[in-house]
A = this chain, B = another copy of it.
Amino acid sequence: MTTTAAQKRARAKVEYDAFLAACPSRLLLARISDKWVALILAALSGQRSMRYSELSRRLAGVSQKMLTQTLRSLERDGLVSRTVTATVPVTVTYELTGLGTSLQGVMCELKGWAEAHMGEVLANRAAHEVAGAAPGVEH
């Protein structure tokens, strides 16, 4: 019994496979494979909820257009919920849904991996450049 993968699929009922070009999960994988999605989920994972302006500060350098667009797509997919409170001016807050929480761990790991292995990657790039510059080295 090849168990786990097969059981998971059986429970999920429909078989999605992102290796297939026409599978909708390929598009979903493309959508969540995004640095802003990773950073938004990582930011929200440490907080119960965040205001738009707090998110904007946390994700230093994000444009308003990109932040709004990414939040809308996360809201549409049900990963983030948006609450509007009728203060003056209006307060808009975002928090992770249950679905968003289920992805949050992977996103924090992805961000953590980039931070933890940055030194190693920089060293590899430098070594690769040296190897590429050396004469007679097939590359």
Contact = CB atoms under 8 A, between A and B. Distances in A.
Interface of A: 2-3, 6-10, 12-21, 24-26, 28-30, 32-35, 37-39, 42-43, 58-61, 75-78, 84, 99, 102-103, 106, 109-128, 138
B99 A12 contact: no
10 contacts: A7-B123, A12-B116, A19-B58, A28-B114, A28-B117, A29-B110, A33-B33, A33-B38, A78-B120, A106-B106
Q: Is the interface of A mostly helix, strand, loop or mixed?
A: helix
A128 to B, nearest CB: 5
Given A77-B125, A127-B3, A138 B84 contact: yes
